[in-house]
Amino acid sequence: MKTLFLIPARGGSQGIPGKNLKPLAGKPLLYYTLDTARQLAPDADICLSTDSDEIIRAATDYGLSVPFKRPAELATNQAGSYGVLRHAVDFYRQQGRMYDVVVLLQPTSPFRQARHVREAMTLYTSDLDMVVSVTESDLNPYFNLFEESSAGYLEPSKDGGQFVRRQDAPTAYGYNGAVYVINTASLSTQTLREFAHIKKYVMSAPDSVDLDTPLDWQFAEFLMQQREANDSK
């Protein structure tokens, strides 16, 4: 199974300005994901997709060759992962390099480890569209998630009348953004939202921390300090 490890790192960021190169516990955020990818594949099968000259320089300084600069139209706030994925796969296809699977590793998941990616990849089979990492959600559409009715009243998102405790309701999961193992054949005909054959890979809440806001960043710094303290004992 020929696998491309794709790291999308846009230069602009609204929630945390410059976050992909912002130091987390003394190391640029991007480098955590580069380190993980390098435990899984040679550099030739690792693709950094970015629109930023600064990020390209940082990756080059870290020893990674960046094959292209992402087109501006795929680097706006409105651009999604689908276009970025297709652009990378098509780039390599034009070079005669065909990949069966793309593993998308977002830099905003610094606690994702190589073992998580390997375990997610073991769940993948060619009849799937995707294996995606998730974490169990405290919010549940059968119990404590609500929508506003046409009359302006809150009502449960799903009929949870038979559940008096959240623990009794069906488990709900949320994508955590850490690992996406994607079938390139599916990607050529469908968007990610159209995928119907998806399997979950469950990660713990601490390993699932995704950096989107300054508060997320502060929490990540705290977790890093705690882990360093535990490692030193």
Q: What is the pLDDT along the chain (233 residues), one digit of tens a residue?
A: 899 999 999 887 778 989 999 999 999 999 999 999 999 999 999 999 999 999 999 999 999 999 999 988 887 766 688 999 999 999 999 999 999 999 999 999 999 999 999 999 999 999 999 999 999 998 999 888 999 999 999 988 888 667 777 788 889 999 999 999 999 999 999 999 999 999 999 999 999 999 999 999 999 999 999 887 777 66
Residues 223, 164 within the same domain: no
Residues 189, 215 within the same domain: yes
Q: How many CA atoms lie within 13 A of 165 on its CB side?
A: 2
Q: What is the DSSP letter of 78?
A: T
Residues 122, 35 within the same domain: yes
- 216 sits in which H/E element: helix 214-232
Name the 3-class secondary structure at 224.
Answer: helix
Q: What is the CATH number for 129?
A: 3.90.550.10
Residues 104, 178 within the same domain: yes
**pLDDT value, residue 231:** 74
Residue with tokens 């968007």: 191
Q: What is the DSSP letter of 171?
A: P
Q: How many CA atoms lie within 13 A of 18 on its CB side?
A: 8
**pLDDT value, residue 48:** 97
Give just the sign of the alpha carbon dihedral 22, 27, 31, 36: negative
**pLDDT value, residue 156:** 85
Q: Quick one: which of 92, 99, 120, 109 has its CA closest to 34?
A: 109
CA distance 164 to 136: 19
Residues 91, 55 within the same domain: yes
* 226 contact partners, CB below 8 Å, separation of at least 6: none
Residue with tokens 């998580």: 116
Residues 117, 55 within the same domain: yes
Its pTM stands at 0.92
Number of domains forming the structure of the chain? 2
Q: Quick one: which of 111, 125, 130, 133 has its CA closest to 36?
A: 111
Burial readout 55-94 (b: 16 or more C-beta within 10 A, e: otherwise): bbebbeeeebebeeebeeebbeeebebbebbbbbbeebee
Q: What is the DSSP letter of 69?
A: -
Q: How many residues does the chain have?
A: 233
Residues 70, 146 within the same domain: no
Residues 224, 206 within the same domain: yes
Structural domain range at position 52: 3-135+172-232
Residues 162, 93 within the same domain: no
